[in-house]
């Protein structure tokens, strides 16, 4: 047990995650240089198993976390307090998305990805087919609105429709909140299910270093530089845009609005950000995201509400920076010069369409909605998407890390403005394991004693 306790401490676990990133990259290089197909297949299988184990929990996690989170607000005051907290949280989601989209546009204009063509590089037939199907399925606001409302409760879960499950969770959570004690048995049951999922994810997260070696190794081995070099400017633009949001925008907001040291923030949120980078899943990172917010002094009751909501709808990397750069990339491929109103449309989609990013295909939905909203040709969108698919795993690492950092930043800012940030907890050393064995992190839904 002493090894487990030591391993799950933030600094030790963070070192293990960081080390696995390096090992995975090195093993991937070896597999590619030696053309060892068996090693590439092994890495891919390890990564796929790890990702599948994480994704199993996404749908039930989204539903239970949001229902429990909404009802945890009861401990912070009445309905007006809950509404104010919810409103401020969504407002800051929109503000940071607005800033991130502007940065995406600026970086896209500077790097100008896709200008001058790609030297005859073509997408694979498999990616071209995937892209065509994706544009047909997600490429319109009409499809998005229709996809928001489930045909029935069970089908939404069975089909893995994250957006529909999110909608159901918000409605059912609000209804349970309004019923008060009459809904207590349901809320208690949902809380128990949530804690079970937390325990399951805690076990899987401990396997992260092994899974990360597989994910990173497979990405390096499979993609190499055949398609990466022609798409280098696009990939680099996404990384630069996300890094500006991650290490410039968030620190400024934390320092001057949240009154929190950026160094302290990254020290306590670093493990969650690193795990998000490797796993490429905001939802799977939720237990770490929530614990990081609590370790930064956010009242557990509010963190239980804000972080699940953020994991589904707050994605500055996927829904703001990336769509802006990708839209410029597609426009350049088509030889089209975007005008002021089209750039404005990119910003509007980033702010208003954040809900569309719920789920594991959030980047794809944001991309297709953005390009269709500003009027780019569907065939050119499909071509650009087919090319992006080739390097998407590499892009998605940085996008997801940015998403998760924002999902922790906003609760800290709102908590400070509402007097819900405990400076004693914020300034205390963080020795709490990122994944607990007793489920204590999941049960902290009442405000701490004054």
445 pLDDT band, cuts 50/70/90, is very low
Q: How large is the average pLDDT for residues 365-387?
A: 84
- Please state the φ and ψ torsions of residue 421, each to the nearest 5 degrees: -110, 120
Q: How large is the average pLDDT for residues 341-345?
A: 93
Indicate whether 264 pLDDT > 90: yes
What the block records as the tokens of 21 is 């990133």
Q: How large is the average pLDDT for residues 12-32?
A: 86
Separation of alpha carbons 23 and 1, rounded Å: 26
Indicate whether 246 pLDDT > 80: yes
Instruction: Quote the DSSP letter at residue 249.
Output: I
Indicate whether 150 pLDDT > 90: no
Answer with the residue of higher pLDDT: 389 or 90. 90
Separation of alpha carbons 408 and 401, rounded Å: 11
Q: pLDDT exceeding 70 applies to what percent of the chain?
A: 82
Across 221-234, b (16+ Cβ under 10 Å) vs e yields: bebeeebeebbebb
5 pLDDT band, cuts 50/70/90, is low
Q: Rank 77-91, 118-132, 151-165, 284-298 by mean pLDDT and report only the highest.
A: 284-298
In angstroms, the Cα distances linking 29 to 224, 234, 328, 382, 393 are 8, 22, 31, 30, 16
112 pLDDT band, cuts 50/70/90, is very high
Q: Rank 72-76, 284-288, 338-342, 378-382 by mean pLDDT and report only the highest.
A: 338-342
Q: What is the pLDDT of residue 51?
A: 85
What the block records as the tokens of 322 is 């990336």
Indicate whether 356 pLDDT > 80: no
In the numeric block, the tokens 């320092």 are attached to 255
Nearest to 377 by CA among 330, 427, 420: 330
pLDDT single digits (tens) 168-195 = 999 999 999 999 899 999 999 999 999 9
Separation of alpha carbons 274 and 352, rounded Å: 28
Q: How large is the average pLDDT for residues 253-260?
A: 97
Nearest to 141 by CA among 340, 439, 365: 365
Count of CB atoms situated within 10 Å of the CB of 283: 24
Q: How large is the average pLDDT for residues 87-110?
A: 95
Indicate whether 376 pLDDT > 60: yes
What the block records as the tokens of 340 is 């002021």
In angstroms, the Cα distances linking 326 to 118, 133, 195, 394, 433 are 15, 18, 38, 14, 38
CB 227 within 8 A of CB 387: yes
384 pLDDT band, cuts 50/70/90, is confident
What residues contact 124, with CB distance under 8 A and at least 6 apart? Answer: 386, 390
Q: What is the pLDDT of residue 119?
A: 54
Min mean pLDDT across 119-128, 294-303, 333-342, 423-432 is at 119-128
């Amino acid at each position: 047990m002493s090894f487990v306790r030591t391993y799950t401490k933030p600094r030790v676990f963070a070192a293990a995650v960081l080390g696995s990133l390096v090992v995975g990259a090195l093993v991937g290089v070896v597999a590619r240089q030696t053309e060892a197909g068996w090693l590439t297949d092994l890495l891919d299988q390890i990564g796929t198993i790890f990702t599948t184990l994480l994704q199993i929990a996404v749908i039930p996690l989204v539903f239970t976390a949001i229902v429990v989170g909404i009802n945890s607000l009861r401990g912070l005051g009445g309905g007006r307090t809950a509404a104010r907290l919810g409103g401020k949280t969504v407002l800051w989601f929109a503000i940071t998305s607005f800033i991130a989209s502007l940065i995406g546009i600026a970086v896209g204009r500077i790097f100008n990805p896709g200008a001058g063509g790609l030297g005859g590089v073509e997408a694979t037939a498999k990616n071209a087919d995937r892209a065509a199907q994706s544009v047909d399925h997600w490429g319109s606001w009409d499809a998005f609105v229709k996809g928001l409302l489930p045909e029935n409760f069970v089908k939404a879960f069975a089909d893995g429709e994250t957006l529909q499950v999110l909608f159901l969770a918000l409605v059912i959570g609000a209804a349970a909140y309004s019923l008060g004690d009459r809904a207590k048995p349901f809320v208690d049951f949902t809380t128990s299910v949530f804690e079970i999922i937390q325990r399951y994810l805690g076990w899987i997260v401990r396997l992260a270093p092994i899974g990360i070696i597989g994910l990173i190794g497979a990405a390096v081995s499979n993609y190499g530089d055949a398609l990466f070099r022609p798409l280098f400017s696009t990939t680099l633009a996404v990384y630069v845009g996300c890094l500006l949001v991650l290490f410039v925008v968030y620190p400024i907001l934390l320092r001057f609005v949240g009154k929190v040291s950026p160094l302290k923030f990254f020290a306590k949120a670093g493990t969650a950000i690193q795990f998000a980078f490797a796993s490429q899943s905001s939802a799977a990172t939720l237990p770490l995201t929530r614990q990081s917010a609590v370790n930064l002094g956010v009242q557990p009751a509010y963190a239980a509400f804000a972080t699940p909501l953020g994991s589904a709808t707050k994605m500055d990397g996927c829904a703001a920076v990336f769509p802006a750069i990708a839209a410029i990339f597609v426009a350049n491929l088509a030889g089209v010069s975007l005008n002021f109103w089209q750039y404005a449309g990119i910003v509007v989609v980033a702010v208003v369409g954040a809900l569309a990013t719920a789920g594991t295909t959030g980047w794809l939905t944001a991309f297709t909605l953005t390009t269709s909203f500003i009027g780019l040709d569907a065939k050119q969108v499909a071509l650009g998407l087919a090319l992006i698919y080739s390097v998407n795993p590499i892009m998605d690492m940085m996008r997801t890390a940015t998403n998760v950092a924002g999902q922790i930043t906003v609760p800290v800012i709102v908590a400070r403005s509402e007097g819900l940030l405990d400076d004693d907890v914020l300034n205390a050393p963080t020795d709490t394991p990122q994944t607990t064995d007793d489920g204590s992190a999941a049960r902290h839904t009442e405000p701490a004693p004054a």
